[in-house]
Amino acid sequence: MSSVNSSSTSRDQLAKQRGIPTRCNCGEAVSRFTSKIVKNPGRLFHCCPMGSQKDKTHLFKWTDKSVVEEIEDFQDLFDMLLIDNSEFQKSVRAGEAMMKCHESRIEEMEDVIAHCEEKTS
C-alpha cells in the first residue's frame, strides 16, 4: 500500500511541472496521446514513453490542465509586461520633457553667444 502512495506522490510531483511538459524526470521526451478509456474518452494527455500503469514514477499529465497552466503563466507574464511598458512610457515622457528643457536652454545660450559675438564685432 505504501508503494502505491509513494508512486502516486512521485507522479504528482512530476505533474507539478507547470505548463506543457517536454521531458520526464528520467530525461525522456514526453509524447502526447489520446485517452481511450471510458472514464476520459478522447482526452489528451502527455506521458513518458518509459512509464506504465505499474511504474508510476514517470510523467503523466492531462493536456487540458497543462494548457490552463500555460495560459495562466502567459497572463502573469502579460500583466508584468503591461506594468513594465507603463513604467517605460513614463520614463520616455520624462526623458522627452528633459530634452525639451535642454533644447530651450541651448537656444538661450545660442542667443547669448550670438549677442556676445555682435558686441565683439
pLDDT on residue 2: 40
Q: What is the spatial distance between Cα 11 and Cα 57, in angstroms, rounded to a whole number?
A: 5
Domain that holds residue 58: 2-120
Q: How many domains does the chain have?
A: 1
Beta carbons of 35 and 45 less than 8 angstroms apart? yes
**pLDDT tens digits, residue range 72-86?**
999 999 999 999 999
Q: What is the spatial distance between Cα 62 and Cα 32, in angstroms, rounded to a whole number?
A: 9
| Band of pLDDT at residue 30, cut at 50, 70 and 90 | very high
pLDDT on residue 87: 96
pLDDT on residue 10: 55
HEC letters along 87-113: HHHHHHHHHHHHHHHHHHHHHHHHHHH
pLDDT on residue 53: 80
Q: What is the spatial distance between Cα 75 and Cα 70, in angstroms, rounded to a whole number?
A: 8
| Band of pLDDT at residue 4, cut at 50, 70 and 90 | very low
* pTM tops 0.95, yes or no: no
